[in-house]
Every structure is written in structure tokens, then in C-alpha cells.
Structure 1
């Protein structure tokens, strides 16, 4: 068993701060080991991030009996982030003690047929219920886990924004390793697809949302001239076949395009006064490009230039500790960041930085911050011990 305790563990637990653990997906009874590692609780919420090697159905059923009275939700991953940094083949638990948290969970099914009005009504009822139960807890936030192959993240976060307003919300899109075949959401003892689960939090712990990337815009721009927005497919760029034109701008042939090339050379769109990544999932045999996020005709894309991923990560995570060190960080790290780091021989260094700053979470197929679905970021919540009463 690999135990990942937030330092200092006893003090964090006593203050009601999150605690975490990770065990092998191949353990005889991984949830029993997790229960032993995180302690008796009680817990307001338990997040589980599962390697694709794990038996999600069996774990969902086991969790319902092993943690009675505790809401359990989670998802499959494209890799895990544990006390060892980047990891594989693990089940990661991130638990919110009842001493420091109250939660309300909203399961959202049928993402391809969202009823926005009904969703906002359900969301407002959930927020009101949580507010009545936990009015004395000062800090609010929300965590969203969503099917990473649904293609509906953009529509979902836009719909949720109508009921969340300025409430800080972060999230991650469930993964399936590097296979891109099947992603799963766990909620209420069930395993779901084409679904999402939103957890509303009120806490005594101070919470700071963040989203960071190490990419800068270049002068190289292109225009999407033919696309299928519903499927995130771009057929033509600058009125040329999309894959060929993207490759030409990089000085490559179309047959040289690869997952690493897409990770190392993403494109950016400008929105809300800043650039956001639009990561390319793959090139298709017909010369089209499939993206991880919303794309449309007329959109101006800018080629990105990466900074040093390790140095940037150290600097940004260090800034979170400028006044006080977080007791825990829940992180959603895009799979393409891991692919790029490994491709540039910086994987071990990035992994060590994540471990040193106590980041726990998983590698995603996309991230959510506020009303935006983004790619190639590390997005999450930093939790700080409650302030001492004056």
C-alpha cells in the first residue's frame, strides 16, 4: 500500500483538512486498504480516481457498503497523481472530513440532451439545501467530474454557470489511459457514461482555485475554415486540409504528426482577455483534426510556444505557498502535460515537483475552470487550514 498523508498529517486531520491515500488497483481489497489509510472519518465526501486497470463496477459497489453514509464519487483516469507524483495503476482517494466540510452532490446524466432549465433548477435547490445546513462555513467551491469522451464539457460548464455564478468551480474530464475508448463516472454506487457529477462544498478550510499552463502565443496564426463543432472536428485550416496545414506550419509532414507533437505544439484561442489551449486529440486518416474542446468555423488559432514545464510548475505551485503552505492540493492535470514532460525528458522532475507540493488527483482529458472547459493545464483547488478565531 502506498499511503499519501497530507503533511503534517495529524494536524491536518484534526483541523478537518482533506486527507488522501493511494493503493494499487490490483490489491486484493483496495478500498479496505484505503479505509485503513484515511482513518475512520466521518467523511463528508470521498473522491476516488481509478486507473483504467481497476474494476470500476466492483469498486462502486464495495464503496457503498464500506463507507455507509458517505457520498462517494469519482472517475476513471488517464494516469494518477499520488504522493509519488505521476503514477500508474493506482486508486487514489481524496477525502473531505465532516469536521471541516459539508457537501451536496448533483449527478447529471444524459449530457448529450441537457435540459439547461431543469439543470439550473436542480443546482439552485442543491445550493440552497447546502446553505441551510452549512451556513456557518465561510468558504464555498465546487468540483466537477465529467465523462471525458462525451464531447459535452463546453456545453455543460456553460449551463452550470447560470446556477453557479461567481462560485469557484474546478474540474477534470475522466480519462482512459491513452486508449480513448471508454471513460467512466462513479456516483451513488453506480458507474455511468455520458454523465457528470458536481460536488458543492462549504468548508472551514480556506480554498483557492487555480489554473496554470506554461504556454505562450507565437506570431503564427491560422483560421478554421471548415469544421464540425458538434464532434470537435476541423476539416480545413486556411482553406487547406487541416492536418496538412497544421503540419506545414510546424515544418513537418502530415505523417510526422503524433501524440507528442500535439502535446508539444498545441494551439491557443483568445477569450476573456487571455489565451486558452485547444489541444488536438488526433489526426484522422482523411486529413482532419479532432480536438479535445469546442472548435468552430472562423476561429483564429495561434500556435503555442512552451516554456520550461518544470521551472514554470515549481514557480506557480510555490506561489500558492507564498503566505502559507496548503495542507492539500486537489489537482486535475491534462494528459498532454505528462506526455510533453516525458517526451522532453522532464517527467521525473515534474513528478517530483508535484509530490513535493502534495498534489493529489489524476491526469485528465480536459479541465474545467469557472465557465470554461480548457486543455493542457494543471487546474485545481488548494486547501488551507482554517484561520484561528480571533
Structure 2
């Protein structure tokens, strides 16, 4: 009996984490080879690359496809990375999903602004059936989405995906371009795409928990959108006044001094059912209109929100996953506005330490997806726990 216990202890000590993680500077020579060396031997079912805009995206993704032959390689540019030091910049993060514990099926949707919605639903249903048959001994599942962060199509896309995924929990993130908002990139198996999305259906021997955290509390200050262009995420009027001017009045700010920090510090939320979701503001355009990260319709009632302490809220939220068995890793999609808030409130170091302590890896986004919703100013992701022991034969 003691021998059996000692054997189990040795297996636990030598067990590799469920995911393999690698990281390299964006300007490092031959970064794909370095990431491959760090990840170690596969085989991998899937490899995800979260790539700083400072990197040579085309060269990296082409080389990675060769080095990780046999695995699906999903890549996107970021608005910052989540790595070994928490918040990172100028890095490339690689996440390997070993075949031993993960089975995946990947679906690329091109031209998402013109997608055939029924075709997408039908394809997802078929891929779920095929994956369930191929990985019928794996009891956990989730879907992971990477989508062009400048496509303006995330709301429609997530709604369609939810219809095809059924009970499979979905989360994801919108690709970024730092704080430039110029162009974002996706790649699937070395082929670069824009106006596209990549959906990975995942089954695993590892228990998983998909989640979304935000630290905002609605106030009593409300406003009505009286002029909007939802397709382009523009709001021209609030309370029948020019949008930027009225937002500034309600927040007590100078309308000519509105900045990314203003919007991060004074977010607006919309009520959906029993919960509130952020409708984050990106900037003011030259016409005095507010440009949002998500669609806003005329007649929508927006509510100003106030912040809880982000570090305290984050620690409490992530600690809940450790109540029984701690996750091996948390794959996270963290809104760019959270990073901006952390920097401006001098919480960057504290929050980085929390992310590091809880083994959070991933990237900063232009938006997050959870279920059938496109949201902002959240940390959304999946906690992946150690694989369940299983009997051979």
C-alpha cells in the first residue's frame, strides 16, 4: 500500500501541466523555433500564438506552421500579452494543447461581415458531433474564439455561434493592435486572415470552468441614446444632445479632454436580463460622436458604472477556482481597458502579480466573447484543472 502511495506521489510530482506554455520577445531571432523548443515534444492537438504587433506576424506564423506540423496553429495580434510576469508588452505567448489530454476541431469563418449564418450553424453542429464521437472518453468541453477585433461583427458572430454550439460553453477575444487601432491580424495554419474568425471546439480529460469577471457596479446615473449608427458602433446623440458633450457633462469632465483613461474610468453599462454588461467607449471622433467597442442602438438606456478595486476583485474572483483543486492554468482574454485602468491607477504591478500567481496566460483584447454575448472591460476565459485520473483498458 505504501508503495502504491509512493508511486502516486511520484506521478503527481512528475506530471506535466495540462497545458504547455512558452514565451519569447517579439524581436528575438527565430522566435518560432524558440517557442517550439520551450514547448517541448508534442504531439499537440492545437497551438495558440498571441503575438505582439511588434513581431513579424507573417514570418512567425509561417515558421510555426512548419514547426508544429500536425497541430492546428491559431494566431492573433494583441493589445498586450498575459505571460510569465502578468501584464506583458512586446512578447509572443505560445500555448500548446497536448493530444494526451485535448482533442480539437477547428473552424475558420472568412468574410464574417457577409457570413451565411445558417451554414455556420450547420457546420458547427456537424463538427461537434464528429468531435464527440472522436473524443468520447473526454468529458469536458469548451469552444474558444479568436475574431478580428476591427471587424465590427462580434455581436452577430457570437449570436450565431451560440446557436450552433448548444450547451458547449463559448469564450474568446477580439484581436488587437496595441493602442493604435490600425489593423489586426489572425492566422490559421500559416494563412493570414482579416474580417475572419477561428473557432476551436475542444474536448478534454481536464475539468474546465468558463468564466467572465468584471469589477463594475451600476450607479443611478442613466442616459438614453437618441442618435446612433449601430453598424459602425457610433453614438451621435445622448439625451438629445451631442454625445461627447453630454457624456462629459454627466461625468463632470471637459468635453475636449476625453481620453481612453476617461472612458476606462467612467464606463457605461447596459442591462440585459438580470445582469449588466459594459458597452465600452473607444474614442471621440472628429464629429464629436462616441465610437464604441460594441454596437449601441437608438433607444438603449446606458448607465454610468463605478469601479470596485480591480486588484481586490480579481484576487477574489480567481481564488474561487482554488477552493478544491487549483487550476493548472487559466487561459484569459483581458480587455485593453482593464490594462489602461491598471496603469493609470498604478495597480499594474499588483494586478500583474495576481495574474502571475494564478497562472493566467493569454492576451489583452479589443473585446471579449462569452456565450452569445460580445462584452467589454472583462477578464473572460477558461480555468483548466489537472486531468482526471483514468483507468487504462
1:117 is matched with 118
Structure 2 residue matching 1:341: 3-state secondary structure: helix
Structure 2 residue matching 1:255: 3-state secondary structure: coil
Indicate the RMSD between aligned Cα atoms, in angstroms: 1.3
Deviations 1:24-82 (A, max 9, x none): 11111111111111111111100000000111111111011111111100200000000
Asked if the contact 2:162–2:170 (Cα under 8 Å) also holds between the matched residues in 1, the reply is: no
Asked if the contact 1:16–1:98 (Cα under 8 Å) also holds between the matched residues in 2, the reply is: no
Question: Distance in 2 between the 1:85 and 1:58 partners?
Answer: 26
Question: Distance in 2 between the 1:248 and 1:302 partners?
Answer: 14
Give the number of the structure whose alpha-carbon radius of gyration is greater. 2
Question: Distance in 1 between the 2:340 and 2:29 partners?
Answer: 30
Could you tell me how far 1:14 is from its partner in structure 2? Answer: 3.8
Deviations 1:137-156 (A, max 9, x none): 10110100000000000000
2:69 is matched with 68
Question: Distance in 1 between the 2:384 and 2:168 partners?
Answer: 16
Asked if the contact 1:13–1:19 (Cα under 8 Å) also holds between the matched residues in 2, the reply is: no
Could you tell me how far 1:284 is from its partner in structure 2? Answer: 1.2
Question: Distance in 2 between the 1:262 and 1:329 partners?
Answer: 27
Structure 2 residue matching 1:324: 3-state secondary structure: coil
2:272 is matched with 271
Could you tell me how far 1:11 is from its partner in structure 2? Answer: 5.4
Equivalent pairs, count? 381
Deviations 1:249-270 (A, max 9, x none): 0111211210100011110001
* TM-score, with structure 1 as normaliser: 0.96
Asked if the contact 2:61–2:75 (Cα under 8 Å) also holds between the matched residues in 1, the reply is: no
Could you tell me how far 1:132 is from its partner in structure 2? Answer: 1.6
Given the alignment of the two structures, is residue 383 of structure 1 paired with residue 387 of structure 2, yes or no? no
Could you tell me how far 1:389 is from its partner in structure 2? Answer: 4.3
Question: Distance in 2 between the 1:202 and 1:237 partners?
Answer: 45
Asked if the contact 2:61–2:190 (Cα under 8 Å) also holds between the matched residues in 1, the reply is: yes
* TM-score, with structure 2 as normaliser: 0.95
Change in 2 beyond 3 A, CA 1:389/1:98: closer
2:256 is matched with 255
Structure 1 residue matching 2:383: 3-state secondary structure: strand
Structure 2 residue matching 1:355: 3-state secondary structure: helix
Structure 1 residue matching 2:256: 3-state secondary structure: helix
Give ranges in structure 2 of 5+ residues lacking alignment: 1-10
Could you tell me how far 1:388 is from its partner in structure 2? Answer: 2.9
Given the alignment of the two structures, is residue 356 of structure 1 paired with residue 357 of structure 2, yes or no? yes
